Amino acid sequence: MVISASSSVYGDELVTATELNRQPGRILDRAREHPVTITRNDEYFALLPRDDMTFWVKSATQAKVVFDIVNVAYRLQLGEQIAEEHPHKWLKVFDSQELNELITELERAFRLVGSEIGAIDRLDVLIHEWHESALAISSPELAAAFSDEVDEVLLTPIVDSTNELAQS
């Protein structure tokens, strides 16, 4: 779904609850095109397609995650300590240059949300990949495996000459 980043969540159109009751089909048709605000007494309700609402909620949730990660990355670069219970403590394994790369990638990916199809999912993937990289870097098992100096022996394939004759 592509939603213009400059578009407003609310349309300029206000509809009363009475009008919605009298002409539900017409109001729903309008809501398909752009959000409609329904008023009742001093209350305001937004009517818009569920897919649009899903996008807005996911975007807001993702914005908070991106902000939190960037905030922690900047704090780490300033030498601040991050509590062990912090959900983004995994960022501690990266050096300053890597944190700058993460911030740059997040900013680039986040700017595309709303203007490019699938951008919000790619942002999820980007965060997941950085998190997985942090887990791999901090894994003692992986560190031991990479530092293991076992002598490797190259295997030479054995060719069965009788099989080759049968295949020709």
Cβ atoms of 93 and 137 closer than 8 Å: yes
The answer to whether 79 and 99 have CB atoms below 8 angstroms apart is no
**Residue 158's pLDDT is what?**
80
**Could you report the per-residue pLDDT of 95-124, keeping only the tens digit for each?**
999 999 999 999 999 999 988 988 999 999
User: How far is residue 148's CA from residue 142's CA, in Å, rounded to a whole number?
Assistant: 10
**C-alpha span between 14 and 44 (Å, rounded):** 9
Whether residue 88 contacts residue 67, with contact meaning beta carbons closer than 8 Å, is answered with no
Is 134's pLDDT higher than 70? Answer: yes
Average pLDDT for residues 14-43, to the nearest whole number? 93
Rg (CA), the chain: 27
Assessment of whether the complete model's pTM goes beyond 0.95 = no
* Token representation of residue 43: 């209350």
Residue whose structure tokens are 């729903």: 28
Give me the chain's average pLDDT, please. 86
